[in-house]
């Protein structure tokens, strides 16, 4: 084996990861740093962000952290003005809700769309407009199978926000290709993160639901992080506008 050959390496790349204080974002930030990237992490919770920052691979120099609430316009402006040039970005910050549609008021939709749709779309827009994304950069949006590949009762408000994100991903892929910036998304099935253990669904129901996944379990944050590494790396140089389903076979 040629140990120097690794098209999946992120060596020499600077990668932004949002939502890095927990779950998929945290794992993605740590994995990217282990693959050689200099990582810029951001999240709301300063203490947990620091904790993630401390876990980043110290063999790579120059990691940065900025705490910011991506639903707050001033925070976003501040963040964007502090960012270095980026070879990649993984926009993980998001939230979920389990709510039958008849309770999906405008207020509930707004809450979900603010963090899952408007926040990443605005950040993506500003990063592109301000030319922070270098030529050949790769952007990964964390969407969901919900809203595009799966339509489970109670997931409509959440799924709609992720479907909208997937749609913008494809438009951005077309438009940003002129600068050779690639834009893809990952559509995970249920991933075992603190987000799904908030109690609306009981632990018993979750365990029962996990059995419905052909590969026999819910996803782990690293399942998604490894997909993000691929999309960020030069191995995916000819891939754009794709929604990569990582769901243990659930949506087959």
Partner 1 sequence: MDIHEFIENFAAQFDDTDAALFTAETNFKQLDEWSSLTALSIIAMVDDEYDVIIKGNDILSSDTIQDLFNIVEKQQ
Q: Does 201 bind partner 1 (CB under 8 A)?
A: yes
Strand order in the sheet with 38-43: 64-67, 38-43, 14-18, 86-91, 133-142, 182-188, 243-246
Please name the residue that has the structure tokens 């120097």.
4
Q: Is 158 one of the annotated active-site residues of the chain? A: yes
Q: Which of 6, 55, 98, 251 binds partner 1 (CB under 8 A)?
A: 98
Judged by CB under 8 A, which stretch of 41-49, 68-76, 94-102, 212-220 contacts partner 1?
94-102
Q: Which of 3, 4, 153, 178 binds partner 1 (CB under 8 A)?
A: 153
Q: Does 102 bind partner 1 (CB under 8 A)?
A: yes
Q: Which of 100, 214, 216, 249 binds partner 1 (CB under 8 A)?
A: 100
The candidate with the shortest Cα–Cα distance to 183, out of 42, 106, 88, 76, is 88
Q: Does 62 bind partner 1 (CB under 8 A)?
A: no
Q: Does 106 bind partner 1 (CB under 8 A)?
A: no
Residue 144: CB minimum distance to partner 1, A: 18
CA atoms within 13 A on the CB side of 58: 2
Q: Which of 164, 201 has the CB closer to partner 1? A: 201
Q: How close are the terminal C-alpha atoms of the chain, in Å?
A: 35
Length of the chain: 252
Q: In angstroms, rounded to a whole number, what is the distance separating the alpha carbons of residues 175 and 210?
A: 38
Q: Name the 3-class secondary structure at 98.
A: coil
Q: Which of 3, 102 has the CB closer to partner 1? A: 102
Question: Where in the sequence numbering do the catalytic residues fall?
Answer: 158
Q: Which residues bind partner 1 (CB under 8 A)?
A: 98-100, 102-103, 153-154, 198-202, 204-205
């Amino acid at each position: 084996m040629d140990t120097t050959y690794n098209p999946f390496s992120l060596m020499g790349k600077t990668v932004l990861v949002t939502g890095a204080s927990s779950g998929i974002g945290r794992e993605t930030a740590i994995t990217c740093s282990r693959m050689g990237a200099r990582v810029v992490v951001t999240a709301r919770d300063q203490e947990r962000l620091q904790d993630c920052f401390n876990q980043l691979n110290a063999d790579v120099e120059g990691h940065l952290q900025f705490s910011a609430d991506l639903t707050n316009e001033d925070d976003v402006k501040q963040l964007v003005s502090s960012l270095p040039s980026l070879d990649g970005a993984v926009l993980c910050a998001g939230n979920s809700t389990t709510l039958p549609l008849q309770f999906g008021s405008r207020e509930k939709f707004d809450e979900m769309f603010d963090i899952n749709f408007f926040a990443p779309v605005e950040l993506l827009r500003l990063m592109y407009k301000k030319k922070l994304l270098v030529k050949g950069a790769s952007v990964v949006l964390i969407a969901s199978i919900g809203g595009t590949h799966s339509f489970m009762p109670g997931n409509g408000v959440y799924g709609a926000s992720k479907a909208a994100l997937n749609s913008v991903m494809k438009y951005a892929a077309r438009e940003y290709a002129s600068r050779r910036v690639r834009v893809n998304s990952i559509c995970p099935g249920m991933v075992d993160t603190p987000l799904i253990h908030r109690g609306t669904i009981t632990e018993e129901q979750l365990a029962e639901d996990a059995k419905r996944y052909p590969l026999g379990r819910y996803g782990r944050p690293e399942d998604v992080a490894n997909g993000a590494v691929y999309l960020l790396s030069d191995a995916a140089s000819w891939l754009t506008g794709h929604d990569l389903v990582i769901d243990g076979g659930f949506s087959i």
